[in-house]
Structure formats: structure tokens, C-alpha cells
């Protein structure tokens, strides 16, 4: 029998897996790929963004609620999921920014924090790993730390001299960064809304592009997964404290999203297989390598 393909997606908080690459994961699950979401922190310091749930009793039980929400989202996507067990750092606000809380994820030593992920990589043996870019996708300290830890673990997992107590070495074959929102994607959705006579939720985003670097040119891989956008949204709504079901993320009609930008996009940053760019499959080159074993 052919070896089952395996994908590991490393995220900072519960809910990140449902807003970044969720349709891609649902697509690969439907195709028989074994998908494992790794969640670095418990999301204990996240905001309650659903006004219907912003109540004292919710805040008092937020850690357990986030775990239950993650269980629900995992079931929607059809993935497996593992916790690394670090404590949410929160998003510091103010001028000057306050110090990060003692013991939080973002203050851990990268070499030590990478250990639990190395262990998981050697146990799960992913062929493909996805995470955030060097800016964390956006500059949340936990997202930036997630990037650092994932890159460190990707490089260490195959080295028998590193973390020898954490299992037999395993070499993942490809590492990708998620490119969630490029200027091209925002403009396509914005123009689609205007053409339909609807108010675009992206007006302010477009105004801010003058101060931002467009990561669109970094995209190497576009995975067609529009069929799974409704699954993505169901998974996101499962994180009920983290998303307003009447809010920004759901303003663009589904049919328009599927037509205007039917892919989820990634940047290939490490590859140990031959995979000419651009790609339409995270497993390009991997399928051939696995089949040849």
C-alpha cells in the first residue's frame, strides 16, 4: 500500500487554524491526507470578540471554553489536533507597550520551546509543514514565536544529534508560510462587492496598503479549495468567543468569494524535493518521492 501523505499545520492559538489555511486542510482531508493541527498556546489571553458572549461567566471559564471550541472546529475540519501547552502571551497595547507576562510563550527560549514540536514531528512524521512567516502573518508576539519555533523544529527534527531523547529523526520534505491576505486578493474581493452594488468591508484595508508591504509577490503555491470555503467558515464559527457571526469575516457572499479568489495561498520556503514553481499542490514533488519509496 502507498504511504499516507501527512500535513502538519502549526498555529499560535485556537481559532488560527480556522482563519488561516482551513479550506486547504479540509480539501486534503477529503482527499485522504492525514492532517494534524498543532496549537502552541491555549488562547487564554485572547479577546471575546462575539458581543453576544462578552459576559463575566465566559471570561471566568475562558481557557476551558477555548479548548471546547477547538474540539468543535477540529471536528468540522476533520483534522487531528495537539496542544504544545504554552501560555498565551496576549497582544500588548499602549504607548509604550507594556512588558509581556512572565512565563508566556513569546518569552520562552526558542531552542527549548522547539523541543515539544520536534517530538511531535518525529511522532507524526509530516511530509509537509505549514506555519506563519517571519512577521507572524501579523505582529502578534505568539505568531512570531510560532514562526521561530516551527522553523527551528523543521531544521532539527531530522538531526539525530539534536534532541536525541525525543524520538527517532524525521525529515519533513517541505515548509510553507501561509499568505492569507495579499493586495491582489483584497482588491479582487473589494471590486467584486462594488460591482454587485454592495458595500465593501475592505475600504480601510486598501487605504492602509500604502504603509504595508504586499506579500502577494511571495506566493509560490495556490491551492484551489473554494469548494471548502463553507467548511472553513463553519470551523471559524465554532470558535464562538473568537468571532462575531455577524461581523467582518462574513460580509462577502460565499459565491463571490469562491469566484473572485478560489485559492488559499502559500510561500514555499524549504523543499527537499523537486517541485517547479509556481505550484498548485503543497504535495507537489512529495507524492512522487513517497510513491518511489
Annotated binding site for Zn(2+): 13, 16, 143
- In angstroms, the CA 192 to CA 287 distance is 36
Annotated binding site: 13, 16, 143
Amino acid at each position: 500500500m502507498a504511504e499516507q501523505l501527512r500535513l502538519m499545520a502549526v498555529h499560535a492559538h485556537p481559532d488560527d487554524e480556522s482563519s488561516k489555511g482551513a479550506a486547504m486542510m479540509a480539501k486534503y482531508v477529503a482527499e485522504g491526507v492525514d492532517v494534524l493541527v498543532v496549537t502552541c498556546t491555549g488562547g487564554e489571553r485572547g479577546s471575546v470578540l462575539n458581543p453576544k458572549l462578552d459576559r463575566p461567566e465566559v471570561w471566568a471559564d475562558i481557557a476551558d471554553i477555548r479548548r471546547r471550541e477547538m474540539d468543535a472546529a477540529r471536528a468540522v475540519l476533520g483534522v487531528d489536533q495537539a496542544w504544545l501547552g504554552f501560555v498565551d502571551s496576549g497582544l500588548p497595547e499602549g504607548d509604550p507597550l507594556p512588558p509581556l507576562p512572565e512565563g508566556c510563550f513569546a518569552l520562552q527560549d526558542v531552542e527549548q520551546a522547539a523541543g515539544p514540536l520536534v517530538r511531535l514531528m518525529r511522532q507524526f512524521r509530516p511530509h509537509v509543514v505549514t506555519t506563519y512567516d517571519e512577521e507572524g502573518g501579523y505582529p502578534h508576539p505568539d505568531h512570531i514565536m510560532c514562526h521561530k519555533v516551527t522553523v527551528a523544529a523543521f531544521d532539527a527534527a531530522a538531526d539525530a544529534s539534536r534532541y536525541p531523547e525525543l524520538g527517532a529523526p524525521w525529515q519533513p520534505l517541505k515548509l510553507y508560510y501561509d499568505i492569507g491576505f495579499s493586495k491582489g486578493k483584497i482588491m479582487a474581493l473589494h471590486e467584486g462587492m462594488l460591482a454587485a452594488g454592495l458595500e465593501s468591508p475592505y475600504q480601510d484595508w486598501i487605504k492602509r496598503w500604502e504603509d504595508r508591504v504586499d506579500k502577494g509577490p511571495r506566493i509560490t503555491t495556490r491551492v484551489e479549495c473554494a469548494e471548502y470555503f463553507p467548511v472553513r467558515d463553519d470551523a471559524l464559527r465554532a470558535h464562538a468567543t473568537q468571532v462575531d457571526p455577524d461581523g467582518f469575516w462574513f460580509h462577502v457572499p460565499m459565491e463571490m468569494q469562491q469566484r473572485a479568489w478560489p485559492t488559499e495561498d502559500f510561500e514555499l520556503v524549504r523543499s527537499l524535493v523537486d517541485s517547479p514553481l509556481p505550484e498548485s499542490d503543497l504535495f507537489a514533488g512529495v507524492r512522487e518521492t513517497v510513491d518511489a519509496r
